[in-house]
């Protein structure tokens, strides 16, 4: 033990005398540790930790493309998506989503978040069920209903387990909350905090596109 303490004192004296070298060494260590931590976080999330879906190996993404531009990917229009649903028989189900920004208002104060408009079968295709309330149903296509992400639920409603049936104002329109999704579910991107029915899409131009 005494030898170890002597070695530590000697190392400190040497580093103190060569401050330039010490600074470079510390920066190198910091960069190395930071890079390894970032790589492990990605590998842990993708390889070691299973994706929060029932059968992730069976999920595929579908886009339209331009044959004149190899590798191009474009979202499909709503009519095209409906054609896929009716004519494609190689899939157990085809769902769609579209990104949107939301200004949240109410007695809890203003808030900004990102969400997705989804078809009624979206959560069935993903194989994920709400932890509270229910998922979307075909009858919801024309109803302004929303499922909250875990973080938004905690931030705006203090994790109220009776939140289903309450309302939330999104972009100056009132939506009824029907459920809360698991904390691990953030599809299609990590900053998504809510999922609404496709009812608002019916008031948009026919060329509106889906992911």
Per-residue pLDDT, 206? 45
| In a shared domain, residues 104 and 185 | yes
pTM, whole model, 2 decimals?
0.68
Low-confidence ranges of the chain (pLDDT < 70): 1-2, 4-32, 34-58, 63, 202-211
Interval 131-148: pLDDT, tens? 999 999 999 988 999 999
In sequence order, the 6+-apart residues with CB closer than 8 A to the CB of 17 are none
CA-wise closest residue to 146 among 126, 173, 125, 127: 173
Domain that residue 186 falls in: 56-210
| In a shared domain, residues 34 and 81 | no
| In a shared domain, residues 93 and 24 | no
| In a shared domain, residues 25 and 60 | no
Per-residue pLDDT, 38? 58
| In a shared domain, residues 124 and 92 | yes
The backbone region for 158, taken as left when phi is positive above 0, alpha when psi lies in -120 to 50, beta otherwise, is: left
User: CA 182 → CA 53, 127, 157, distances in Å?
Assistant: 11, 12, 15
Residues in the chain: 211
Question: Could you give the number of structural domains in the chain?
Answer: 2
Per-residue pLDDT, 26? 57
Interval 86-135: pLDDT, tens? 887 878 788 888 889 999 997 778 999 999 999 999 999 999 999 999 99
Per-residue pLDDT, 14? 57
| In a shared domain, residues 120 and 94 | yes
| In a shared domain, residues 189 and 85 | yes
Per-residue pLDDT, 108? 78
| In a shared domain, residues 204 and 111 | yes
């Amino acid at each position: 033990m005494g030898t170890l303490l002597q070695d530590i004192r000697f190392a400190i004296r040497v580093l103190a005398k060569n401050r330039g070298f010490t600074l470079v060494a510390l920066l190198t260590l910091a960069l190395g540790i930071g890079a390894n931590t970032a790589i492990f976080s990605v590998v842990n999330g993708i390889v070691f930790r299973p994706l929060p879906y029932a059968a992730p190996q069976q999920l595929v993404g579908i886009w339209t493309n331009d044959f004149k531009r190899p590798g191009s990917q474009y979202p499909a229009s709503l009519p095209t998506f409906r054609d896929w649903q009716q004519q494609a028989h190689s899939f157990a189900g085809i769902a769609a989503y579209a990104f949107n920004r939301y200004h949240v208002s109410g007695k809890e104060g203003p808030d900004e978040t990102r969400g997705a408009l989804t078809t009624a079968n979206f959560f069935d295709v993903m194989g994920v069920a709400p932890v509270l309330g229910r998922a979307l149903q075909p009858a919801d296509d024309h109803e302004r209903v929303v499922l909250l992400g875990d973080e938004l639920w905690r931030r705006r409603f203090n994790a109220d387990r009776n939140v289903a049936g309450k309302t939330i104002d999104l972009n100056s329109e009132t939506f009824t909350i029907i459920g809360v999704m698991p904390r691990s579910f953030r599809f299609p991107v990590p900053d998504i905090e809510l999922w609404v029915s496709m009812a608002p899409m019916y008031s948009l131009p026919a060329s509106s596109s889906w992911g």
